Structure 1
Amino acid sequence: MNAPLERILYVEDDSDIQEIARLALVDLGGLDVTVCSSGREALAAFAAVRPQMVLLDVMMPGMDGPTTMTSLRALPGGETIPVAFMTAKVQSHEVSRYRDMGAIGVISKPFDPMTLADQVRALWAEWGAQC
């Protein structure tokens, strides 16, 4: 059993989606969330934030989510950090690809703000049960 989920690094380039997710995760879910607008920003913040979990948008300009995840894996402490993707690209072959890359799960967009924190915690618990 892993510790309760408290700290998340959330990477999303769309400011409207950032705000909805922040409200859902912080105000409704009681989580400590650091929001980054790009993969590069997330990589720079990772060591200071020390997240327990990372939520990544798949389609972002510059550095997309899969590339960001690969780069996170090269950072100290990033080798085993659980990463979930948040994306509208949720066809079965796409979800399989993300899982094959090492993602612990996928949350589809648009997401329900009322249940987002529960979805994230369920992925966290599932990942913890496998560790």
Structure 2
Amino acid sequence: MGKMVLTVDDSATMRQMVAFILKSAGYQVMEAADGENGLRASKAQQFDLVLTDQNMPGMDGLALIKALRALPQYETTPILMLTTETGETMKAQGRAAGATGWLVKPFDPQKLLDVVQKVVG
């Protein structure tokens, strides 16, 4: 059974693209449309990796990361930001919140797989 990945993004197209790439590589993928749904899914099921967008209505990516890091089962789980944000300030905020890494959209599918394999195997 492949590793479980949660992808959180308010763009259905982006979620579907990430899911397709990861499923093709043997990962199991669950999708969430925003931070609240992502947090709810994460409490109901343990994921090996969380990929989250930053800019979403309601709970944004930084708030989701902070909420996940507050849960004992997600203290060490890799969490990657997948976002259009490229500023150093935002990256620093991501690191401070507990993000493991950062991928900028649009992304290269192979780079996404390389990073995912690096952090979860």
* TM-score normalized with structure 2 length: 0.87
2:111 and 2:101 map into 1 onto residues whose CA distance is: 16
Aligned partner of 2:101 among 95, 105, 111: 105
Alignment-derived partner of residue 81 in structure 1: 77
The 3-state SS of whatever aligns with 1:77 is helix
After superposition, the C-alpha distances for 1:12-47 in whole angstroms (9 at most, x for unaligned) are 1100111111111112x2111111111111111113
2:5 and 2:87 map into 1 onto residues whose CA distance is: 25
2:10 and 2:83 map into 1 onto residues whose CA distance is: 12
For residues 41-80 of structure 1, the aligned pairs below 5 Å read 41-80=37-76
- CA drift at 1:76: 4.0
The 3-state SS of whatever aligns with 1:10 is strand
The 3-state SS of whatever aligns with 1:9 is strand
Where do 4+ consecutive residues of structure 1 move more than 4 Å? Answer: none
In 2, are the aligned partners of 1:8 and 1:33 still within 8 Å (CA)? yes
Higher relative contact order (CA 8 A, sep 6+): 1
Alignment-derived partner of residue 128 in structure 1: none
Q: Where does structure 1 lack aligned partners over 5 or more consecutive residues?
A: 126-131
1:25 and 2:13 aligned: no
The 3-state SS of whatever aligns with 2:57 is coil
In 1, are the aligned partners of 2:48 and 2:120 still within 8 Å (CA)? no
* TM-score normalized with structure 1 length: 0.81
Q: Percent identity?
A: 33
User: Superposition RMSD on alpha carbons, in Å?
Assistant: 1.8
How many pairs does the alignment contain? 120
